[in-house]
Amino acid sequence: MPVRMAVRPRLVDIERVYADHFRDVHRYLLGLTASPADADEIAAETFERALRAWDRVPEPALPWLLLTARRIATDRWRRARRLARLALGPSRPVRSDAGEAGTEFWLWFGAVARALTDRQREVLVLRYQRDLTDADIATIMGLSESGVRSLVARALEVLRHHPELLR
């Protein structure tokens, strides 16, 4: 009986974190990958890693989850680049299964993506979509807090020079 009592609150905590943050992690990954299928896979792997490392996941869990998701995505990109260098075939095209509205979003997102660097796009997603603090963003992106503020300012400056993207 004592083992069951010790395990049950842990499962409740994991279920709560999953329910509270899966959507945040998935949306963040959509911004990073521009692929709903990749975002699904990486989000699932992120929560699988959280389950395995649950005793080491800090509170609040969201920054840890986003950092883990970012690392998984980065590992996949590196692996894909290595495979491309080996000429094992072309990379998969980005596509949306969300219909016409989804297609319009991805066209807009593609235009924004061309105007911003990957890091600028990521910092804006973390700041304005996920509403994270500079400290949390710094942890996720491996920057100082002042580096985060500087990157946000540069990204916003790029967008100011492209008002057609801000519809």
Of 24-38, 46-60, 75-89, the one with minimum mean pLDDT is 75-89
Q: So what's the pLDDT on residue 68?
A: 92
Q: For 134-144, how does the pLDDT look when each residue is reduced to its tens digit (9 = 90+)?
A: 998 998 889 99
CATH code assigned to 1-92: 1.10.1740
Residue 154: φ, ψ to 5°? -65, -40
Domain boundaries, the chain: 1-92, 96-167
Torsion of CA 103, 104, 106, 108, to 10 degrees: 160
100 vs 32, higher pLDDT: 32
Q: Is the pLDDT of residue 88 over 60?
A: no
Query: Tokens for 37?
Result: 């299928």
CATH code assigned to 96-167: 1.10.10.10
CB 112 within 8 A of CB 106: no
How many C-beta atoms surround the C-beta of residue 65 within 10 A? 25
Report residue 133 CA to chain centroid gap: 15
Distances (CA, A) of 162 to 32, 107, 159, 165, 166: 21, 15, 5, 6, 8
pTM of the entire predicted model: 0.55
Query: Tokens for 152?
Result: 């946000």
Share of the chain above pLDDT 70, in %: 71
